[in-house]
Amino acid sequence: MSDATAAIIPPTKSRHLRACLLCSIIQTSSDFRSIGCPNCEEILQLKDSPDRILACTTSYFDGVIAVIDPETSWVGRWQRISKYARGMYAVRVKGRVPEDVEAELESRGIKYRPRDQTDQD
Amino acid sequence: MSDVEDHGDTGYEHDDGNDAPPKRKLYDDEDSEEEEEEEEEQQEGGKKKRSKHRKRDPLSRFLDIEAEVSDEEEEEDDDEELVNDGFIAEEGGVEGEAGGRHHARLDKRREMESGGEKSAEDLAKEFRERYNTRKLERFTGDMNEIPQRLLMPSVHDASLWQVRVKAGRERDIVFSLMRKSLDLEYTSRPLTILSAFQRDSLPGMIYVEARSSALVSAACTGLVGVYLSRGITLVPIDEMALLLTIKKKEEKVAEGTWVRLKRGKYAGDLAQVVDITENGDEVGLRFVPRIDLNPRDDGDGSKKRKKGASATNPGSSSSRPPQRLFNYEEVVKLYGRNAVSKRGGGSLYVFLGDTYKDGFIEKDVKLNSIILEDINPTLDEITMFSRTLNPDGTSNGGALEDNMVDLSIIAESSRKAALAVLQPGDHVEVFEGEQAGVHGVVEEISGDVLTITASGVDIEGQKIDLPARSVRKRFKPGDHVKVMQGKNAGETGLVVAVSDASANSGSDNSAGGGVVTFLSDMSMQEVSVFSKDLREAAEVGNGTNVVGEYELHDLVWLDLQTVGVIYKTERDSFRVLDQNGQSRLVHPHQITIRRDARDSNKSIATDSEGHEIRIGDGMKEVDGESRKGRVLHIHQSHFAFLHNREIAENGGVFVTRARGLVSVAPKGSLAKLAPGTDLTKMNPAAAGGAQGPGAAGGMVGSGAMGRGPRDRLIGVNVVVIKGPHKGYIGIVRDTNGNIARVELNTGNKVVSIDKSKIHRRLPNGKNEPIEGPGATTPNPYASGGAGGRTPGWGGAGGRTPGWGGAGGGGRTPNPYAMGAGDGGFGGKTPAWNVGSKTPNPYAADGGRTPAWNAGNKTPNPYGDGGRTPGWGAGGGNKTPNPYAANSTSNTSSGGWGGSTPGRSLMGTWDSGTTGGEGWGGATPGRSLMGTWDSGVTGGDGWGKGGSDRNAPTPASWGGASPNRGAWNAPTPASAATPAAFAPTPGLPYGGAPTPYSVPTGGFAAPTPGLMPTPGMSIYDTGGYGGLDMRNNYQPPSDWLLDPSFAAYLTSIRVVIKDTRQDNYLDGKYELLEAQVLAASRAAANYEQTALVKVKVQGNEEDRSILTKYLFPVPPSHQDQAAVILTGPRKGDKVKLRQRPDTDADSLTELVVVQTVIEKGRAEDGSANGEEGTGPFWECQKDWMGALR
């Protein structure tokens, strides 16, 4: 098994599941508020800022992946989440991160890949 | 242990609200369900729980913190290494990343350094920060640079397995798998799957990534909703990526897009997107509000009122208010000025938390609570958006022509739909791409690719493949089109204009095609629809014009006193013409009830002439404007709503008094022309609808039938044999004289058809006339069928009380009634009747009407009295003979009544106490009738007026038998009898009344009643003074087929006669003797034929000959065998015991014969079953057919 940490697995019945626009992890909005995004908190700064959560996560996603072993899993690799925490991820997330995040990514030289499968290469 | 851990965990979390939980690696090993639950509970916001945990905080915090901190440190290092590893690994490949990585390192270092310089407090703070952010390793997106294609699965990757699950539970199951794997991670049997996922577009399946299917099934066992039994399927490696990349067709939400709301009061309402939030999660919509302008609790305080009318009150969705633009004045009036606040300038209001602008409500709605696909906005809906509020608050209906709607938007929204509506044969044009402008006919559609046959100068006939979305249907003015979907579905019309939506907008938006305006065939009004909804069609539609549950031309109640007929349907209202002739605009909710169409059908009204008016009749006003129209509805027998599409006013519907109408159909005049029609209806006393005028009296005495509640034709399956409806099958719904109203099976249409044009349809598929031909012919003498009407047993009117109830007019009372069901034969005199109707058990004989048989044959001196009458009755009355109780009385003149064959029958029955009343009455009636008929035809003494005749008869009967009572009734009916006579016109006998006339004289005074029966007369002859009443026996045309002779069929000698006069087979066989080879009865409607062997000029020839040209050869010498052709001994084999006269004219000669009793025949009771000879008796020569 991987050594990767596990994100909080949201309860199945939750109606407030949201997916991170950057890493596509699925959490409840309250989890995002209390702990932020386990993968990209550093750049998104979601914790305790509901506005940020609204801007950087969305409830509009399709497909749920239970990533149990991100390092080994091809699914994880394909979704580019191999390095992330274990947990629930969305296959496709609609929307793009806010512009400031995009700018930040750019300044760091990170290629932003939207999770909405709009650009495939 | 887990307890402690748990407490520590919770304590940790609540220790500092800002603390993010550390990586959970530490307690993951003990990660138990308990913990899961804890988490869930907490997330559900159980405050209680939290406080409870807090109590234990100090201790657990202590323990936990210690443990965690140390561990985290290590972990951090690890992680950093990990990150570094990553960088190193990719360094070579990715040039641009170096800078970023450098920054990251610098940042890290700076953090460390700054930490070291701080004061203790700061340090502590810093630590905390570090602790907080410790886990926040820099987001590196290190995988983002790899092109997706390099991530394709390889053989070294684990496989994907498809698992069937319960539809709708896919997501739950994936979650469960995740949780399960975390739970079992450090147990002895951890889940060894790598991942599991689900796609919304693949219902009923999840995909599990694992090395083997066994691992998958191990992981899935115990999960509810997983159908392991349905197999675990390996996903081919090249399809793995597709599973993750498939996506539903992107529904782009753009400003101006039309969407529909999914839930709530506005469910299904069209809305237009005005703006979109940054992350595309919510959209700002603009739509027509539904403000309750009739708050229910008016009397209460404004607060309560507001609540009751609250737009967000979900409970009130059942009666949601109509769509209406926001009107400040109205709302203020109802809800008070405070409820509405005005914002900014213009018409921006806030009411009950919603913003209203320009009359529309503007609201932010979650993306998943709106429908983006298959919007198909209708023009009506869109025009609503084009309305603007005038300053005075009234709405200004914007028509399409106002160009206020950007049709391109609609066109865009219907772009996808356009694909679905194309069909081979559609005429399309290409509006985009390099083929733009080409048009042609769709040949083939496969997926999104169309093959069209182009038309045009250069490329005429070429086949071109095109993407389906770049074509649109093409119409030109003059095309006849039909609307396939939408509000106007079913309308047809002629295209008068085509407006291209793309004309004033970008070409990209023109996908759905333009708006086609056509002139409706129905309403003669212009209708504009999208071309995608149209098809070319030749037919003329009968548009339904249905709005809700109301339909054009429905009769509706507006209130208790007022009814009206919908003459026009509008978008959300109707135009109704009420019974007072006033036209009103009515909304569906103002309609109390719709009168069931059937109710209306039941209403009865009469026109100015007293005729019944029915729904659907063509009527005309007798006065006033003389408007013509078709009756739509009748209200309270007084008002008639008529429709005439030539009248422009009120959609062609008008209301008038039923009494002021007269039929435009020739119904009334027909009734006048055809005597005797519709007696049923007009005169209950004449019930039963005696069809022949003469039969009018037939019902006397038959009280039960008096009302004639139903025409017996009603409900009969018929087929139309003539006229425009020829070939149609239907059911008689009603009759009115000669006219039958037939409900055609097809088209649910009721048409009025002359009865002569319909045939009864028998269950066996054959048709036969609905009733005797006589039924429709007024001339009693001419009508063949009239006989059938003989009161005795004729049509309904003629039913003898005794058995009248038995049914069909035509039915013989005959107990043996073969084919009694053939009502259609009613026309034929029982006696005549091909037998079926004859009471004669050997019915084939029927053809021989007693009457005509009877004739004036001398009673057979040798025959025992009993028998004689029997034959007189013509086979038919054979029955009585054997029992011949009456024979004696028959002979006596006084007993005439009794001697009538019929009567004798009666008598017989009586004595037998067969309870003959019922039909006994009938039988004689018939025979009697027959007699009478002939008599009448003869015209002599008989002709003197039916009443005379009638009178005596009952009398004579009276004396005869207990059945008389029954008899009496039929007698009057005898009037009809004359008709009976006619049916046999074909028979030579037709002209033969004369013989009867002879007796008439004798008849005249004494036994008029008796006379009638021809059969009788035979016996009576003696009594009549020795008049030779014998008559030539003329076998019926199908005598050969009589079952009585079946045994002798091939041995009977026949001669072909009468062919010359009919020019049958050129008379080639005239007078040739033939041998019958075979003959069997064909269906009643066909001419009977027999296969005979005949010698023509030395050559033997087998051929079919109509039996009517085959005649028996009378026996000509002593000891010759013969078969008796008629009479009570019909079918008996005899031997001549006397040399007959050779004179051809002496066919009526009586010859002594001896019955030959064949083996097995024990007719008389005297037979011993052995072949032998029977009694001697005397037989008329032509009653016998010689045998070979």
Residue B466: give its domain's CATH number.
Answer: 2.30.30.30
- Given a cut of 60, whether residue B252 has pLDDT beyond it is yes
List all residues of chain B from 865 to 894 with a beta carbon under 8 Å from chain A: none
pLDDT band at B196 (very low <50, low <70, confident <90, very high): very high
Backbone angles phi, psi at B798, to 5 degrees: -80, 5
The answer to whether the CB atoms of A86 and B43 lie below 8 A apart is no
Considering only the beta carbons, identify the residue of A6, A48, A75 that sits closest to B197: A75
Regarding whether B927 and B885 lie in a shared domain, the answer is yes
Residues of chain A contacting residue B247, judged by C-beta atoms under 8 Å apart: 62, 92, 117
Residue B1059 lies in a domain: no
Residues of chain B contacting residue A85, judged by C-beta atoms under 8 Å apart: 23
Alpha-carbon separation of residue B846 from B42, B757, B843 (angstroms): 103, 28, 5
Regarding whether B990 and B1127 lie in a shared domain, the answer is no
Residues of chain B contacting residue A63, judged by C-beta atoms under 8 Å apart: 197-200, 244
Q: Which two tokens stand for residue B841?
A: 């058990």
Residue A84 lies in a domain: yes
Residue A120 lies in a domain: no
pLDDT at B115: 47
Please report which helix (H) or strand (E) contains residue B174, including its range: helix B170-183
Considering only the beta carbons, identify the residue of A30, A86, A111 that sits closest to B141: A111
- Which range of residues forms the domain containing residue B234? 148-245
Backbone angles phi, psi at B1154, to 5 degrees: -125, 130
Alpha helix segments (H runs only) across A57-113: 74-78, 99-107
pLDDT at B604: 75
pLDDT band at B762 (very low <50, low <70, confident <90, very high): confident
Q: What is the pLDDT of residues B1038-1053, one digit of tens each?
A: 777 777 777 777 888 8
pLDDT at B399: 36
A-chain residue closest to B174, CA distance: A66
Which of these, B664, B637, B643, lies nearest to B655 by C-alpha position?
Answer: B643
Give the CATH number, domain containing residue B1152: 2.30.30
Residue where a domain terminates, one of B512, B536, B560: B536
Residue where a domain terminates, one of B516, B536, B556: B536
Residue A113 lies in a domain: no
Considering only the beta carbons, identify the residue of A8, A68, A109 that sits closest to B194: A68
pLDDT band at B11 (very low <50, low <70, confident <90, very high): very low
Give percent of chain B above pLDDT 90: 1
Residue B70 lies in a domain: yes
Q: What is the pLDDT of residues B875-888, one digit of tens each?
A: 333 333 333 333 33
Residues of chain A contacting residue B144, judged by C-beta atoms under 8 Å apart: 80, 110-113
pLDDT band at A119 (very low <50, low <70, confident <90, very high): low
Q: Which one has a higher pLDDT value, B1007 or B586?
A: B586
Q: Which one has a higher pLDDT value, B957 or A8?
A: A8
- Structural domains in chain A (count): 1
Q: Which amino acid is at A13?
A: K
Longest CA span, chain A: 39
The answer to whether the CB atoms of A83 and B142 lie below 8 A apart is yes
Q: Which residues contact B355 (CB under 8 A, 6 or more apart)?
A: B343, B348, B349, B361, B362, B363
- Summarize the confidence of residues B43-62 as an average pLDDT: 45
Regarding whether B775 and B761 lie in a shared domain, the answer is no
| Beta carbons of B439 and B398 less than 8 angstroms apart | no
Residue B581 lies in a domain: yes
Least confident of B14-23, B988-997, B1135-1144: B988-997
* CA of A27 vs chain B CAs: smallest distance (Å): 11
d(CA B296, CA B721): 64
Regarding whether B1131 and B985 lie in a shared domain, the answer is no
Alpha-carbon separation of residue B289 from A60, B323, B375, B848 (angstroms): 27, 6, 19, 89
Which of these, A57, A108, A61, lies nearest to B277 by C-alpha position?
Answer: A57
Cross-strand pairs, B1090:
B1079, B1105
d(CA B689, CA B671): 13
Which of these, B833, B687, B725, lies nearest to B772 by C-alpha position?
Answer: B833
* CA of A65 vs chain B CAs: smallest distance (Å): 4
The answer to whether the CB atoms of A121 and B149 lie below 8 A apart is yes
Residue A7 lies in a domain: no
Regarding whether B464 and B355 lie in a shared domain, the answer is no
Q: Which two tokens stand for residue B242?
A: 């597709």
Q: What is the pLDDT of residues A79-106, one digit of tens each?
A: 888 888 889 999 988 888 888 888 888 8
A-chain residue closest to B157, CA distance: A74
The answer to whether the CB atoms of A66 and B100 lie below 8 A apart is no
Residue B454 lies in a domain: yes
Residue B1093 lies in a domain: no
Q: Which residues contact B1050 (CB under 8 A, 6 or more apart)?
A: B1075, B1076, B1077, B1078
Alpha-carbon separation of residue B737 from B679, B697, B740, B959, B1107 (angstroms): 7, 17, 8, 39, 38
d(CA B1004, CA B1015): 17
d(CA B756, CA B29): 98
Alpha-carbon separation of residue B873 from B851, B956, B1046 (angstroms): 7, 18, 22
Regarding whether B484 and B446 lie in a shared domain, the answer is yes
Regarding whether B807 and B742 lie in a shared domain, the answer is no
The answer to whether the CB atoms of A75 and B368 lie below 8 A apart is no
Instruction: For helices B922-938 and B901-911, give the axis angle rounded to 10 degrees.
Output: 170
pLDDT at B280: 63
Q: Which two tokens stand for residue B1025?
A: 């003074």
pLDDT at B607: 81
ipTM: 0.95
DSSP B481-515: EEE-SSTTTT-EEEEEEEE-GGGGS-GGGGTT--E
Regarding whether B154 and B76 lie in a shared domain, the answer is no
- Given a cut of 50, whether residue A75 has pLDDT beyond it is yes
Three-state secondary structure call for residue B464? strand
- The residue of B81, B176, B209, B235 whose CB has the most chain A CBs within 10 angstroms, and thus the best one to mutate to test that interface, is B209
| Beta carbons of B278 and A54 less than 8 angstroms apart | no
Backbone angles phi, psi at B875, to 5 degrees: 20, -45
Cross-strand pairs, B308:
none
Residue A116 lies in a domain: no
Residues of chain A contacting residue B160, judged by C-beta atoms under 8 Å apart: 75
Number of Cβ atoms within 10 Å of the Cβ of B828: 31
Backbone angles phi, psi at B701, to 5 degrees: 90, -20
Give the CATH number, domain containing residue A101: 3.30.40.210
Residues of chain A contacting residue B278, judged by C-beta atoms under 8 Å apart: 55, 98
Regarding whether B707 and B726 lie in a shared domain, the answer is no
Q: Which one has a higher pLDDT value, A105 or B309?
A: A105
Q: What is the DSSP letter of B397?
A: P
Regarding whether B989 and B866 lie in a shared domain, the answer is yes
Highest-confidence segment of B325-339, B465-479, B620-634: B620-634
- Structural domains in chain B (count): 8
- Which range of residues forms the domain containing residue A88? 17-107
